Amino acid sequence: MKHNILLSGVAALFLLSGCEKLDREVLTNITEKQVTESYQYTGYRQAALYTELPEGFLQVDRAMMASATDEAEYTRENGTVQKFNNGSWNTYDNPDNAWGKYYKAIRKVNQFLVSSDSINLDTYRLSDDPSDQQIYQTRSAEIVRWKLEARFLRAFFYFELVKRYGGVPIFTAELGVQDNFADVERNTLQECIDFIVKECDETAVGLPPKYGDADLGRATKGAALALKSRALLYAASDLFNDPSWAGGYGNPELISVTGNRRDKWEAAANAAKAVLEIAEAGYWIHWEYRPLFNTYNSPEIILTRRNGPSNEFEKANFPIGFDLGESGNTPSQNLVDAYEMTDGTPFNWNNPAHAADPYANRDPRLGLSIITNNTWFYNRNVELWTGGRDGNGIPLASKTGYYLKKYLGENTDLLQNRTSVHSWILIRVAEIFLNYAEALNEYDPGNPDIATYVNYVRGRTTIGMPPLPAGLTQAQMRERIRNERRVEFAFEDHRAWDVRRWMQGPQYFGTPLRGVNITRNTDGTFAYAPVIVEQRVFEPKMYLYPIPQGELFISPKLVQNPLW
């Protein structure tokens, strides 16, 4: 993983969708020196760094990480994501190989930061022509910004590692085969958090608050401060402050942080508030929910990964009865039950009215995120009852009684190979609102801002859920905030990490995954009965990923995570 070096010719550059493509034939005929000195090629390489950002649509063998949580079940029983659910993943076999992925990305950033100092602008710098001098000033400023963007991306990649592994080795220099990897050791978790926060603070100073349409997706001041908010929220949460789960682990500094807990929550709240105070960015909650995930341009989006139009996600997740549909990630009853009634009260199967018509008068986000029985999708109602075109009895039909709707281009004609835009949003305003509310509730319970910002999310114009009731205790507010994150961010790859940082793994990931059995009555009505779909496994060691065994062979001073 760390043995790769920059090859002459810059083989295999993959560029951000929408950016000018690099001619591969030209690349094979130029030297490394020409590439590193070229403003144009350096710009291509910088844009290519964004392709290393996570994309969760087909992340684990065509499955989403949602199917490794209580959000969903992946229909294919032999899918590698099932290893998370049955507990068979280990130090040799992790379906989510984040260690290799993100250290490769970090290496590319470090290479870029070194090579970007070699860009030759002398043609413009030494010219007496005022227009050339203007080009020199503009390009010099752009190079500075490129480097800030790269440092932000590196901080983002490090956070992706930290939330999975705890403390990890920090590299800020370009490494090659001559370096001694046998001596590599993990930095402490506190050092990693401090590094990420410092990079976010420093890059935020020079990054712009927003870009024009041509540069949507690039790192902004808001993205840097939002990543800081997320990192500090995790650093204040239970998992990184209570190593008791680790069974007497000899290196607690690798999995827990130091300092006053209340101060950490306050720092997390202040970091979130700082994002919301960037007036020039124009951040706010988008008035619609579902279209948010099929666009790149919204006042709610702080950072997103831009991709070209495609239809692989539709193929992977369309209901089985639709042409070329594979079922894919099917939402669980566990998740469906978390959506409140429209009056803000919980759904309850023991309530006869709820059980008879379980999707009536529910939080609108349920119907916008999940396909429920006998509701319209594409060109017909989806038949999830036993014997229906999409229900039990059909090979690869949903085992949970639901199909995914969020992100899907509903009108994508797969037989005609039509495509849709999919926006994998990495950070959005709703997260910052809920980050702020969660942190504020922990260090200043009762502060009116807590309910205000939760209600902003619930009260999105086309959602219109009622405000939280007055007089909630700190514990009650904590549970409401956690449930709000659960439904608002369903399938957005928050759940796997929220449950871990709250140290609720056994409660949610170690209990049965449930679905619903649907029977169509002779009068055309339906009967619904909750069922267990799958037993799930969660052991304390699974709060963190294991360091890959292959890395321990290369770098024996790396200390393995607890209990692996």
CB of 427 within 8 A of CB of 156?
Answer: no
| Mean pLDDT within 123-129 | 95
Looking at residue 4, its pLDDT comes to: 34
Q: Classify strands 72-74 and 513-520 as parallel, antiparallel or unpaired.
A: unpaired
Integer CA distances (angstroms), 371 to 175, 292, 406, 526, in order: 48, 17, 9, 16
| Mean pLDDT within 378-407 | 97
3-state DSSP: the chain helix, strand, coil percent, rounded to 5?
Answer: 45, 10, 50
Distance CA(254)–CA(188), nearest Å, equals 5
Distance CA(230)–CA(209), nearest Å, equals 18
332-344, pLDDT tens digit by residue?
999 999 999 999 9
Res. 436: pLDDT tops 60: yes
Distance CA(156)–CA(54), nearest Å, equals 10
Count, in order, helices (H) and strands (E) of the chain. Answer: 20, 10
Q: Smallest Cα–Cα separation from 70: which of 406, 505, 397?
A: 505
User: Tokens at residue 196, please?
Assistant: 């990420």
Distance CA(533)–CA(515), nearest Å, equals 6
Integer CA distances (angstroms), 337 to 235, 239, 346, 471, 551, in order: 30, 26, 8, 24, 41
CB of 327 within 8 A of CB of 403?
Answer: yes
Residue 349 CB neighbours (<10 A): 14
User: Tokens at residue 433, please?
Assistant: 């609102």
Q: How confident is the model at residue 14 (pLDDT cuts 50, 70, 90)?
A: very low
484-541, pLDDT tens digit by residue?
999 999 999 999 999 999 999 999 999 999 999 999 999 999 999 999 999 999 999 9
Res. 18: pLDDT tops 60: no
162-212, pLDDT tens digit by residue?
999 999 999 999 887 778 899 999 999 999 999 999 999 999 999 999 999
Listing DSSP states for 257-272 in one string gives --S-HHHHHHHHHHHH
User: Tokens at residue 131, please?
Assistant: 């227009």
Distance CA(486)–CA(490), nearest Å, equals 6
Looking at residue 556, its pLDDT comes to: 97
**Residues with Cβ within 8 Å of residue 66, at least 6 apart in sequence:** 72, 329, 490, 491, 493, 495
Looking at residue 23, its pLDDT comes to: 33
Res. 390: pLDDT tops 70: yes
Q: Which amino acid is at 512?
A: P
Residue reference for tokens 């899918």: 79
CB of 403 within 8 A of CB of 371?
Answer: yes
**Residues with Cβ within 8 Å of residue 344, at least 6 apart in sequence:** 465, 466, 468, 469
Q: Which amino acid is at 90?
A: N
Instruction: Classify burial at 128, counting beta carbons within 10 Å of its beta carbon; exposed 0-12, middle 13-18, buried 19 or more.
Output: exposed
User: Tokens at residue 99, please?
Assistant: 């260690």
State pTM to two decimals: 0.94
Q: Smallest Cα–Cα separation from 45: which of 17, 18, 22, 23?
A: 22
Looking at residue 307, its pLDDT comes to: 86
Distance CA(224)–CA(201), nearest Å, equals 7
Q: Smallest Cα–Cα separation from 195: which of 233, 154, 226?
A: 154
Higher per-residue pLDDT: 8 or 147: 147
DSSP 420: B
Q: How confident is the model at residue 28 (pLDDT cuts 50, 70, 90)?
A: low
Please, what is the average pLDDT of the chain?
A: 93
Distance CA(87)–CA(545), nearest Å, equals 12
Q: Smallest Cα–Cα separation from 289: which of 344, 405, 368?
A: 368
Residue 278 CB neighbours (<10 A): 18
Res. 26: pLDDT tops 60: no
Q: Smallest Cα–Cα separation from 311: which of 496, 57, 533?
A: 57
The H-or-E segment that residue 402 falls in is: none
Res. 5: pLDDT tops 70: no
- HEC assignment per residue over 290-349: HHHHHCCCCCCEEEEECCCCECHHHHHHCCCCCCCCCCCEEECHHHHCCCCECCCCCCCC
| Mean pLDDT within 237-246 | 97
Task: Check the CA dihedral 508-512-513-517 and report its sign.
Answer: negative
| Mean pLDDT within 42-68 | 96
Of 28-42, 60-74, 463-477, which range is least confident? 28-42
218-237, pLDDT tens digit by residue?
999 999 999 999 999 999 99
User: Tokens at residue 87, please?
Assistant: 């507990």
CB of 431 within 8 A of CB of 292?
Answer: no
CB of 59 within 8 A of CB of 96?
Answer: yes
* Percent of the chain with pLDDT strictly greater than 90: 91
CB of 228 within 8 A of CB of 197?
Answer: yes
Distance CA(487)–CA(484), nearest Å, equals 6
Residue reference for tokens 């009762």: 446
Domains of the chain are 1-59+96-187 (1.25.40)
Res. 385: pLDDT tops 90: yes
